[in-house]
Amino acid sequence: MLTRLFAGNRRKDAAQALYAGIVAQARRPAFYSGCGIPDTLDGRFELVVLHAFLVLQRLKRDREASAEFAQSLFDVLFQDMDVSLRELGVGDLGVGRRVKAMAQGFYGRIAAYEAGLEQGEETLVEALRRNLYGTVDPGGTELRAMADYLIREAAGLAAQDLDGLMSGRLIFGAPPAVALAAKAPTPARRSE
């Protein structure tokens, strides 16, 4: 019984370390200043989801060995979302509803990014346009750079050792180097 308890604690600690790596990568300034991703709560959430997708996609490849760990990572991610919402002043009654909506959005993005990796760059670019850049109208250069980044990082994570990942060791490459035009991305037009 104690062995299971300590194994669960080690798994949670490793999942927290992996999540910290996901958040650190998502907060790199180059994504916001160089790739045109909005430096907003939505933009940060989108980048965390994108990087969590990459890690979960890698874990999924060895599903039998990593299922419990992947669940721990998912739990850590959404516990952090819960805490963040509370810190932003969302009341107890609203947190559950918002976390549920975030989870639904998370699963939708996972499906869109999986389809993009399987079906090719155009599908991936559209998934990024709808999700990562949902509140702005990015240029094609930024979209293609982020699509290339996603493909590159998926391949890089595929080469990473599963035991290392499940011990909390995570290596991401540098964000894409994109020189943005002098103007900021324009707000996306919403049809009503």
Q: What are 88-132's pLDDT values in tens digits?
A: 888 777 788 888 888 899 999 999 999 999 999 999 999 999 999
- Which residues lie across from 186 on neighbouring strands? 137
> Sorting pLDDT into bands at 50, 70 and 90, what band is 188?
low
Please choose, from the candidates 150, 141, 129, 149, the residue with its C-alpha nearest in 3D space to the C-alpha of residue 178: 141
Predicted TM-score (pTM) of this structure: 0.85
- For the record, the structure tokens of 159 come out as 């080469």
- Which residues lie across from 37 on neighbouring strands? none
Q: Domain-by-domain residue ranges, the chain?
A: 38-167
Query: Is the pLDDT confidence value at 181 over 50?
Result: no
Query: Is the pLDDT confidence value at 172 over 70?
Result: yes
